[in-house]
Amino acid sequence: MATGLCVAVVGATGAAGQTTLRILEERKFPVRELRCFASERSVGKTVTFLDEAVPVRKVEPEAFRGVEIAFCSAGSAQAKEYAPMIVRAGAIVVDKSNAFRMDPNVPLVVPEINPHAARGHQGIVACPNCTTIVTVMPLKPLHDAGRLRRVVATSFQAASGAGVNGLDDLRQQSLAWARGEAMVPHHFQHQLAFNLIPHIDKFGSDGYTGEEMKLVNETRKILEIPDLPVAPTTVRVPVFTCHSIAVNAETDQKISVARARELFAAFPGLTLWDEPAENRYPMPIVVEGQDDCYVGRIREDLSHPRALNFWVVGDQLRKGAATNAVQIAELLVRG
């Protein structure tokens, strides 16, 4: 850590924070000094970065003096408290929570899609929801080629999207099943192992959940289409890592399957994985650990002449969170 920037990671002991440390290593982000923070119960523990043990500190204003880039992987309530404090200490904050995403003064950035938005930051840049990131990656090239008119998206979201508690819940339920014991949920509302739960986040008065409205509002902001009709459904599935989304996209101009394949294959951050005759299509077990989002099952909508159906899978801990955040920081460093 001889040259580079003073970097902070808030929430360093959680799933997203741990992945952020790994991505910083993998992408060789210019870290001169690393400061790690977590909840008070984790203070005094250590995390590993570049084979060194880094102590976990308490979040307090003086601890951020000299920090230039801070990654915030805390919850929304904590982010609302921490991020402005960290900005006042002189750092730029890349926040992964829902706290600032829809703030008109805070850019919401997916670097492959709207890097220009990052230039307008006032100290905080927001990282979108993991499901939104995976969904918008293939939507952007379709919009550029044919202008989106309507999107229907049904997500199948991994347990780790709920953090380490979600992972533990699925793991313990699966082990209980193997032992012939009762599967008791501790984090999710219902048993997740061998089940599907069509409920992520709180229900609104209209019957839509918070997770579904994130997909609607964030997609519009990132693609800069404020009136885009988006019909969302989000489902928690018994998969450890990777979110999968079934998408129906209608465009003003017809885009053929062949043209869509060309657009997806050429777009940075997307991998075309679409050979149905060879049973080759995106699956969580294939995509886990990858930074690209994988897209396949591309076919024309039988019910509409200008719509396509496709299936996209992304590792929500990487591109859906940590990788996207580090890419934002790389944009900020480049200026």
Q: Which residues are catalytic?
A: 130, 243
**What strands, in cross-sheet order, belong to the sheet with 230-236?**
230-236, 148-157, 243-251, 307-314, 293-300, 270-272
CA–CA dist 177, 294 (Å, integer): 31
Helices (H) and strands (E) in the chain, counts: 8, 13
Strands 92-95 and 307-314: unpaired
CA–CA dist 67, 92 (Å, integer): 8
**Residue 210 burial by CB count (10 A; 0-12/13-18/19+): exposed, middle or buried?**
middle
CA–CA dist 95, 77 (Å, integer): 12
Checking 206-209 for CB contacts under 8 A at 24+ apart, the result is 208/232, 209/234
Chain centroid to CA 65? 28
What are the start-end ranges of the E strands in 22-138?
A: 31-37, 46-49, 52-57, 69-72, 92-95, 124-126
What does the block give as tokens for 139?
């939507």
